[in-house]
Amino acid sequence: MTGKALLLTALALNGDEGERIEAAPLEGLARRGYDVEAVDCRDVDIVPCTGCGSCGLRTPGACAVKDGMQAVFRSLVASDLLVLATPVRFGSYCAELKKVVDRFQPLMVPLYVVRRGEMHFRGRYDFPALLGVGMSADPAETEAFRHLVGRLAVNVDARHAVATFTGGAEAADEEAATEAVEGALAALEPAPGRSAGGPS
């Protein structure tokens, strides 16, 4: 599966760390032939979701807050793959990236469906496949991150895969990180489609 990939990052203040978290997915996606649009969420004016509910009922599908998220929405729904690349913080995304994920509600219809025995919102659009890329040297944090990306996939009804790496600065570490991303992308490819696969 190749096509258009939207890469969302929230690079940490530490420049080296930021470069390493972005380099692996960029290289991995390039090797698999993806056309990549990369967005650093720290460079986009996006405010946190207030949970006003407007996108569900008053202005269905449209967020009441007009900011940088509108461009992200347009790119996201036109993508085949959404990549969330982040240093892992307390087992989760960087807050700046989570702020963007929190704004996904307009992509959902305020009607519940049952998925995997759970009640979830129905998707307004076909959500792209989801790849979580996390950098952490802590195994517990890494496991929590894998779980959270999986839960996000269930919520948005997307196939998903997760790549994690330790973020070492040696050339071998960088190659291992890229290979982890490539491996996760390959895991997404055999699925024939959303109707057949569902959340993985």
Contact footprint for another protein (CB under 8 A): 48-52, 92, 95-96, 98-99, 101-102, 104, 148, 151-152, 155-156
Outline where DSSP puts E strands in 75-167. 81-87, 108-115, 118-123, 129-135, 160-165
Smallest separation, CB 93 to another protein (Å)? 8
Nearer to another protein, 34 or 93 (CB): 93
- For the chain, how many residues are written? 200
Phi-psi label, residue 193: left if phi above 0, alpha if psi -120 to 50, beta otherwise: left
Smallest separation, CB 133 to another protein (Å)? 17
Nearer to another protein, 28 or 87 (CB): 87
CA dist 9 to 1, 57, 66, 139, 148, Å?
22, 30, 21, 21, 16
Smallest separation, CB 179 to another protein (Å)? 28
CB 88 within 8 A of CB 135: yes
HSE toward the beta carbon, residue 200, CA cutoff 13 A: 20
Nearer to another protein, 61 or 91 (CB): 91
Smallest separation, CB 176 to another protein (Å)? 28
Nearer to another protein, 2 or 50 (CB): 50
Nearer to another protein, 94 or 188 (CB): 94
Residues 80 and 86: their CA atoms lie apart, in Å, by 20
Smallest separation, CB 97 to another protein (Å)? 8
